C-alpha cells in the first residue's frame, strides 16, 4: 500500500532525474564548445538558469514534504539528500557557464599549444564520465556504482596538479592559454568534487552511511 508521502517523493525523484539529464547535456555543450572554439555561452546560460530554477523547486518540495509529512528515516534521508543533489546539479550548470565565460574572454582552446588541447580534452572526458556516474547512480540508487567514483576522482585530482606543474615548466605557453587552462582545469576539479558529493548522497540515502569517497 502506498503512503501519502510517496507521491511527493516520486515527484521529487522525477524532477531530479530530469535535472540529471540536463546537467550532463549542459556540461557537454559547454566543454565541447570550449574545446572546439565555439561560442555557446547564450545556450549554456539558458540551460544553467533552468537548472537553478529546478534546484529551487526541489528545495521548495523538500520544505513542503517536511512541513506536511514530517518524514523520518529513509524518507528524511532521501529528501534531505535530494535537496543537496539539486544544489550539486545547479553547481554543475554554473561551472559549465563559467567555462563558456573563459572561452569568451580568453579565446577558444584551439589557439593553444597542442599538448594543452590534448590534456584538457583528456581531463574533460574523465570529468564527464564522473558526472555520468553520479547521474546514473542517482537514477538507479546504485550504491555499487556510486562507490566507483573514488578512482576517477583521484585521477582528476592528479591530472589537475600535473597540469599545473607542466604549465610552470613550459615557458612557451601563451599567457592567455595559461590563464584559460588554469581556470578550466580548476573548474573540472570542482565538478569532479560535486560528482563525488552526489555519489556520497546516494550512499547515504540507501544505507544511512555517511561515506567519504573523496
Other CB atoms within 10 Å distance of the CB of residue 131: 24
Q: Which is nearer to other proteins, 46 or 209 (by Cβ)? A: 209
Q: Which is nearer to other proteins, 146 or 192 (by Cβ)? A: 146
Among 18, 38, 57, 77, indicate the residue that binds other proteins (CB under 8 A).
77
If you count DSSP H runs as helices and E runs as strands, how many of each does the chain have, helices first? 7, 0
Among 67, 73, 114, 171, indicate the residue that binds other proteins (CB under 8 A).
73
**Sequence-ordered list of residues with C-beta below 8 angstroms from that of 99, at least 6 positions apart, any chain:** 30, 31, 34, 44, 184, 187
Q: Which helix (H) or strand (E) holds 192?
A: helix 175-207
- 10 Å CB burial of residue 134 (0-12, 13-18, 19+) is buried
Query: Which stretch in 40-48, 67-75, 107-115, 160-168 sits in contact with other proteins by CB under 8 A?
Result: 67-75
Q: Is 76 one of the binding residues for other proteins (CB under 8 A)?
A: yes
Among 7, 37, 74, 162, indicate the residue that binds other proteins (CB under 8 A).
74
Q: Which is nearer to other proteins, 112 or 203 (by Cβ)? A: 203
Q: How far is the CB of 77 from other proteins (least distance, A)?
A: 7
Helix, strand or coil for residue 72? coil
Alpha helices in 37-108 (DSSP H): 41-69, 73-106
Q: Are 140 and 202 in contact (CB under 8 A)?
A: no
Q: Is 105 one of the binding residues for other proteins (CB under 8 A)?
A: no
Q: Which is nearer to other proteins, 67 or 114 (by Cβ)? A: 67
Q: Is 208 one of the binding residues for other proteins (CB under 8 A)?
A: yes
Distance, CA of 22 to CA of 201 (rounded, Å): 19
Q: Which is nearer to other proteins, 90 or 146 (by Cβ)? A: 146
Q: How far is the CB of 205 from other proteins (least distance, A)?
A: 11
Q: Which is nearer to other proteins, 69 or 129 (by Cβ)? A: 69
- Give the interface with other proteins as residue ranges (CB under 8 A): 1, 3, 5, 70-77, 208-209
Amino acid at each position: 500500500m502506498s503512503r501519502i508521502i510517496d507521491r511527493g517523493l516520486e515527484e521529487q525523484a522525477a524532477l531530479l532525474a530530469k535535472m540529471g539529464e540536463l546537467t550532463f547535456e549542459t556540461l557537454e555543450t559547454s566543454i565541447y564548445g570550449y574545446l572546439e572554439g565555439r561560442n555557446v555561452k547564450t545556450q549554456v546560460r539558458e540551460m544553467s538558469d533552468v537548472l537553478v530554477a529546478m534546484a529551487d523547486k526541489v528545495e521548495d518540495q523538500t520544505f513542503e514534504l517536511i512541513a506536511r509529512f514530517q518524514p523520518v528515516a529513509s524518507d528524511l534521508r532521501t529528501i534531505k539528500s535530494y535537496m543537496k543533489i539539486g544544489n550539486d546539479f545547479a553547481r554543475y550548470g554554473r561551472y559549465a557557464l563559467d567555462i563558456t565565460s573563459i572561452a569568451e574572454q580568453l579565446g577558444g582552446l584551439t589557439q593553444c599549444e597542442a599538448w594543452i588541447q590534448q590534456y584538457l580534452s583528456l581531463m574533460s572526458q574523465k570529468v564527464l564520465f564522473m558526472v555520468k556516474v553520479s547521474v546514473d547512480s542517482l537514477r538507479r540508487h546504485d550504491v555499487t556504482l556510486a562507490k566507483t567514483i573514488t578512482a576517477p576522482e583521484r585521477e582528476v585530482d592528479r591530472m589537475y596538479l600535473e597540469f599545473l606543474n607542466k604549465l610552470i615548466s613550459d615557458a612557451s605557453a601563451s599567457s592567455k592559454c595559461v590563464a584559460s587552462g588554469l581556470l578550466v582545469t580548476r573548474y573540472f576539479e570542482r565538478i569532479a568534487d560535486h560528482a563525488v558529493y552526489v555519489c556520497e548522497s546516494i550512499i547515504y540515502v540507501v544505507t544511512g552511511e555517511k561515506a567519504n569517497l573523496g
